[in-house]
């Protein structure tokens, strides 16, 4: 899958959808924020969104190389101070018990480095937002988000 061209991958659908929405909305595209799951965490897609000046929130799938700190997004995120807290009610589901999750909210500007196999791309400046459950639980909630 990693060797297939970007436009042949299933995940190219995110860019295709953005292109169709932009065609239909014209100038109103600036009012839209694309909210995407981990499948959209593709350097090509993030580059496209930045080049088109389209707003987005993408849930990160991997600890990308960044210019800041020690070059890894998630380890950098762990060094950030909490900007606030949020208590989230987690409902019972299946074998999971209902509970309250105490989340730290963190954010910082970061610059994603282009992958080694994609040097034709420029680095991407964007923002990191993290919602990380406090405590040492092995199944704690962790959301790493990349946003414009």
Give residue-wise pLDDT tens across range 60-96. Answer: 999 999 998 778 999 999 999 999 999 999 899 988 8
- Position 122 scores a pLDDT of 93
Kindly give the pairing relationship between strand 142-147 and strand 84-90.
unpaired
Residue 32 confidence (pLDDT) above 80: yes
Give residue-wise pLDDT tens across range 100-117. Answer: 999 999 999 999 999 888
| H or E stretch covering 18 | helix 13-25
Domains and CATH numbers, the chain: 6-147 (3.90.350.10)
Nearest 10 degrees: CA dihedral of 82, 67, 146, 137?
-50
- Position 102 scores a pLDDT of 95
Angle between helices 13-25 and 43-51 (to 10 degrees): 20
- Position 103 scores a pLDDT of 95
- Position 2 scores a pLDDT of 60
- Among all chains, which residue has been given the structure tokens 């807290």? 85
Per-residue b or e along 125-137, where b marks 16 or more CB atoms closer than 10 Å to that residue's CB: ebebbbbbbeeee
Confidence of residue 137 (pLDDT cuts 50, 70, 90): confident
CA nearest 142: which of 127, 131, 134? 131
How many helices (H) and strands (E) the chain has is answered by: 3, 6
pTM value is 0.88
- Position 118 scores a pLDDT of 84
| H or E stretch covering 12 | none
Q: Encoding tokens for residue 18?
A: 């953005």
């Amino acid at each position: 899958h990693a060797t297939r061209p970007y436009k042949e991958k299933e995940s190219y659908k995110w860019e295709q959808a953005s292109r169709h929405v932009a065609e239909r909305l014209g100038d109103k595209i600036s009012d839209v924020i694309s909210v995407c799951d981990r499948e959209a965490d593709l350097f090509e897609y993030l580059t496209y969104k930045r080049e088109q000046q389209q707003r987005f929130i993408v849930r990160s799938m991997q600890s990308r190389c960044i210019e800041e700190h020690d070059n890894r997004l998630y380890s950098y995120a762990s060094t950030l101070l909490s900007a606030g807290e949020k208590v989230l009610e987690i409902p019972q589901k299946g074998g999971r018990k209902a509970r309250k999750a105490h989340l730290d909210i963190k954010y910082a500007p970061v610059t994603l480095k282009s992958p080694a196999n994609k040097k034709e791309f420029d680095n991407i400046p964007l923002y990191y937002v993290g919602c990380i459950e406090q405590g040492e639980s092995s199944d704690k909630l962790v959301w790493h988000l990349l946003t414009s």
